[in-house]
Amino acid sequence: MSNIIACYPGTFDPITLGHLDVIKRATRLFSKLIIAVAESTKKNTWFTTKERLSLIKESVKEVNLDLDKVEIVSFNSLLVDFCKKKNIKVIVRGIRVVSDMEHEFGMAFLNRKLAPYIETIFLMPDEKYAYVSSSAVREIAFYGGSLSCFVTKCVEKALREKVKEIRRKINILKE
């Protein structure tokens, strides 16, 4: 076991079982894993940063991951600047399918240019999560589909509540 701090950054809107599988794999490789939740994002997130942090903490507990090896924080800067501040030497990224590679490789090369001493590694989740994405999960939730094979119970509950809230806003706009 190396004494290296790694970072798994993302929006996690919401965290999925695929994300949790990558977290589990990363905690076997590194002495500490910082799950870094991006505050500022171009994505139109359903959940606030505070809600996403809470759902990650609950989900990590729900799937019995080693909490001593995991830190969950938010950041609002360039990822490499966050890594420098936290003395992170490795960025962990999940690759589900080949189409993820183009974007992820581009980001890894940019990060390497900005901070050549920070390595990026790619981990694949279990193949049963290869098609699971947060955006797909949000769409399934919006249309009332089954979520239990994609997210933890606490995330499923939060998604159901969020859908009710979104539908109320849509109905208000229609009036």
Clarify whether 93 is annotated catalytic: no
- From the candidates 19, 24, 93, 138, give the one annotated as an active-site residue: 19
Instruction: Give the type of residue at 167.
Output: R
Place of tokens 């933890």: 152
Out of 43, 61, 85, 103, pick the active-site residue: 43
CB 47 within 8 A of CB 147: no
Q: Exactly one of 24, 52, 134, 138 is catalytic; name it.
A: 134
- Residue 90, CA distances (Å) to 2, 32, 138 in order: 12, 11, 29
Residues 6+ apart with CB under 8 A from 166: 46, 142
Strand order in the sheet with 32-38: 70-75, 32-38, 5-10, 90-94, 119-123
Annotated active-site residue 103? The verdict is no
Token pair 């966050």: residue: 82
Q: Name the catalytic one among 52, 93, 96, 138.
A: 96
Q: Which residues have a catalytic role annotated?
A: 19, 43, 96, 134
